[in-house]
C-alpha cells in the first residue's frame, strides 16, 4: 500500500496556492510535477525490501529472549520496521528505523503464532511511502521454567542445594554403603570415616547408595482456583514451574515420574517413567486453567490403588469452603501414599497484613486479609491431620520448597 508523505502534502498545498498569486495554469503544472515526482518516488519503493529475521522458537514463559529483524533497503530509500505484538507475545521495542533488535517475551505457555513484520519504505525524494507486510516468523512455543529447574537439579547433583530441614546432603540418601571419598564442608559430620581419615591423613566420609527407582506422581489441578494471577502469571504457571523442578531432580536421583491433569474431570494421565524433565515439560505446555470446580475424588481415584508413591498435589486453597472437596477426598491418597499438597501463598494477602495501614481502607483490607490467611492456615492444619504434608510458599520459592520436601522424604526413607 502506497501513501503520500507529509512532504508530498506540503508541496501539493504550495502548488495549489500559486493559483491565488499567479495563474491557474502554473498551479496545474506544479501539481502535475508533484504527482510525477510522487509516482517516480513510489516506483523506487514498490518492491518490498529483503528481510532476515532471527526469531526464537523456544521460550521460557515470562523470560525475555532476543530477536532481530535485519532490513536490506533498496538504494536511496529509508525503512522503518515494526514487529506487531500479539496477546501471547510481547515485543520490546516494537518499532525502529533501519533494522529492529529487541526482546521477545511469551506471556503464556503453549504454541503461539506471531504476526509478520511490517516495513514502511520511503523513496529517495521523501514523497512516497510504501507499506509492505512480510511473512510471519515460525511459531513460538512458551515453556515452563526448565532452565530454573535445571539449575535446582544441578545444585542437587553437586551437593549445593540446601534445605534447612535436611541436615545431611541431598544425595547419598540411602543406607547401603557405596564408597569412601574426601570430606567437603557440606558433608554431614556423622558420615566421617575416622579410620579411613587416620590412614590417609585427611578427612574422609562414607557415601551410600542412592534410594532410586521410586514412583512420583504429580497431580495438577487446572480448575478455577489455579486461574487467579500471581504477578505476571497464573497460579497454574507457578505450579508447572515447580513440577518441572521436581521432575528435573527426579531425573538426577533416578526416580520415575508421572502426572494426572484434572479439573472437573480427569484430562490426562501420564504413567510414571524414568524422568525426562524436558519431555514432561513439553507435554504439559498446552495446559490452561478452566473456570470450573475441580473433582479431586475423580483425580485421586486414578492412583488410589497403584503401588506406594510420593504424590504431589499442585492446587490451591482459598478458604475452608473451597478446600472442602480436597479435604474430603484426601483419605483416598493418604491411606496408601505419601502426599504433599503444594500451593502458592498470595503475596497481596501477605503484603496487606505486614504493611502499616495508612488509611481506614488499608485497615479494613488488612483485617480481611488476616481472616483469609487464618482460614488458609486452618485448612493447612486440617490437611496435616489428614496425613498430608503442606507446602505453602510464595511463587518464587515454591519450586525449591517442593524439591526440598521431596528430598527430605527420600532422606528419611518415607517413600
pLDDT in tens, 123-172: 898 898 999 999 999 999 999 999 999 999 998 888 778 665 544 444 43
Least confident span in 114-123, 296-305, 313-322: 313-322
Beta strand 215-221 with 310-314: parallel, antiparallel or unpaired?
parallel
Q: How confident is the model at residue 173 (pLDDT cuts 50, 70, 90)?
A: very low
Reported as a single tens digit per residue, the pLDDT across 50-103 is 999 999 999 998 889 999 999 998 898 999 999 999 988 999 999 999 899 999
Give which of 151, 139, 408 is closest to 277, Cα–Cα.
Answer: 151
Q: Where in the chain is the domain with CATH 2.60.40?
A: 1-143
Neighbours of 396 (CB within 10 A): 14
How confident is the prediction for the chain on average, in pLDDT? 87
178-211 burial by CB neighbour count: b if 16+ within 10 A, else e?
A: eebeebeeebeeebebeebbeeeeeebbbbbebb
d(CA 149, CA 218): 15
- 339 in Cβ contact with 314 (< 8 Å): no
Least confident span in 11-15, 58-62, 325-329: 11-15
Least confident span in 39-53, 153-167, 213-227, 237-251: 153-167
Task: Report pLDDT for 211.
Answer: 57
d(CA 134, CA 204): 65
Give which of 406, 405, 403, 60 is closest to 242, Cα–Cα.
Answer: 403
Mean predicted confidence (pLDDT) in 237-262: 94
Give which of 157, 108, 409 is closest to 285, Cα–Cα.
Answer: 108
Least confident span in 48-52, 209-213, 249-253, 319-323: 209-213
- 149 in Cβ contact with 278 (< 8 Å): no
Beta strand 204-209 with 233-234: parallel, antiparallel or unpaired?
unpaired
Whether pLDDT at 202 is above 70: yes
Task: Report pLDDT for 199.
Answer: 87
User: Is the overall model pTM greater than 0.75, yes or no?
Assistant: yes
Least confident span in 34-48, 51-65, 302-316: 34-48
d(CA 355, CA 287): 35
The sign one gets for the Cα dihedral 165, 167, 169, 173 is: negative
Residue 155 cell numbers, joined: 545444585
Give which of 174, 122, 170 is closest to 8, Cα–Cα.
Answer: 122
Q: Where in the chain is the domain with CATH 3.40.50.410?
A: 146-155+159-167+211-411
Q: Which of the following CATH numbers is that of domain 1-143: 2.60.120, 2.60.40, 3.30.70, 1.10.760? A: 2.60.40
Neighbours of 258 (CB within 10 A): 21
The sign one gets for the Cα dihedral 275, 276, 282, 283 is: negative
Write down the CATH superfamily of domain 146-155+159-167+211-411: von Willebrand factor, type A domain (3.40.50.410)
Task: Report pLDDT for 170.
Answer: 43
Mean predicted confidence (pLDDT) in 5-28: 79
Whether pLDDT at 303 is above 70: yes
Q: How confident is the model at residue 413 (pLDDT cuts 50, 70, 90)?
A: low
Give which of 35, 27, 33, 31 is closest to 2, Cα–Cα.
Answer: 35
Task: Report pLDDT for 212.
Answer: 62
1-18 burial by CB neighbour count: b if 16+ within 10 A, else e?
A: ebebbebbeebbeebeeb
Residue 323 burial by Cβ neighbours in a 10 Å radius (0-12, 13-18, 19+): buried
How many percent of the chain have pLDDT more than 70? 94
Cis? peptide before 342, omega within 30° of 0: no
Number of C-alpha atoms within 13 angstroms, CB side, residue 83?
A: 29
Amino acid at each position: 500500500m502506497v501513501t503520500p508523505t507529509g512532504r508530498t502534502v506540503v508541496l501539493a498545498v504550495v502548488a495549489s496556492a500559486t493559483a491565488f498569486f499567479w495563474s491557474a495554469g502554473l498551479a496545474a503544472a506544479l501539481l502535475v510535477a508533484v504527482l510525477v515526482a510522487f509516482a517516480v518516488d513510489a516506483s523506487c519503493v514498490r518492491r518490498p525490501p529483503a528481510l532476515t529475521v532471527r526469531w526464537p522458537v523456544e521460550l521460557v514463559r515470562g523470560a525475555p529472549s532476543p530477536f532481530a529483524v535485519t532490513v536490506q533497503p533498496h538504494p536511496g530509500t529509508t525503512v522503518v520496521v515494526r514487529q506487531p505484538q500479539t496477546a501471547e507475545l510481547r515485543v520490546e521495542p516494537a518499532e525502529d528505523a533501519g533494522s529492529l533488535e529487541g526482546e521477545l517475551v511469551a506471556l503464556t505457555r503453549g504454541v503461539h503464532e506471531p504476526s509478520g513484520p511490517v516495513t514502511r519504505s520511503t523513496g529517495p525524494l521523501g514523497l512516497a511511502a510504501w507499506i509492505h507486510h512480510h511473512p510471519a516468523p515460525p511459531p513460538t512455543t512458551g515453556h515452563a521454567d526448565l532452565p530454573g529447574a535445571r539449575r535446582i537439579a544441578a545444585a542437587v547433583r553437586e551437593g549445593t542445594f540446601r534445605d534447612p530441614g535436611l541436615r545431611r546432603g541431598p544425595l547419598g540418601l540411602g543406607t547401603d554403603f557405596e564408597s569412601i571419598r574426601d570430606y567437603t564442608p557440606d558433608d554431614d559430620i556423622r558420615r566421617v570415616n575416622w579410620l579411613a581419615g587416620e590412614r590417609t591423613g585427611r578427612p574422609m566420609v562414607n557415601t551410600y547408595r542412592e534410594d532410586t527407582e521410586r514412583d512420583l506422581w504429580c497431580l495438577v489441578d487446572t480448575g478455577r482456583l489455579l486461574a487467579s494471577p500471581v504477578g505476571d502469571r497464573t497460579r497454574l504457571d507457578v505450579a508447572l514451574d515447580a513440577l518441572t523442578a521436581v521432575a528435573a531432580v527426579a531425573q538426577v536421583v533416578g526416580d520415575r515420574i508421572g502426572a494426572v491433569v484434572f479439573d472437573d474431570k480427569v484430562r490426562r494421565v501420564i504413567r510414571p517413567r524414568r524422568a525426562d524433565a524436558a519431555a514432561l515439560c513439553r507435554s504439559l505446555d498446552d495446559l490452561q486453567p478452566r473456570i470450573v470446580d475441580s473433582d479431586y475424588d475423580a483425580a485421586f481415584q486414578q492412583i488410589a490403588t497403584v503401588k506406594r508413591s510420593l504424590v504431589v498435589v499442585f492446587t490451591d486453597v482459598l478458604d475452608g469452603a473451597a478446600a472442602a472437596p480436597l479435604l474430603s477426598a484426601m483419605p483416598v491418597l493418604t491411606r496408601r501414599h505419601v502426599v504433599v499438597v503444594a500451593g502458592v501463598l498470595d503475596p497481596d494477602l501477605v503484603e496487606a497484613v505486614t504493611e502499616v495501614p495508612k488509611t481506614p481502607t488499608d485497615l479494613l483490607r488488612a483485617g480481611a486479609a488476616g481472616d483469609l490467611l487464618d482460614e488458609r492456615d486452618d485448612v493447612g492444619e486440617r490437611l496435616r491431620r489428614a496425613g498430608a504434608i503442606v507446602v505453602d510458599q510464595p511463587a518464587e520459592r515454591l519450586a525449591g520448597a517442593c524439591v526440598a520436601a521431596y528430598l527430605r522424604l527420600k532422606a528419611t526413607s518415607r517413600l
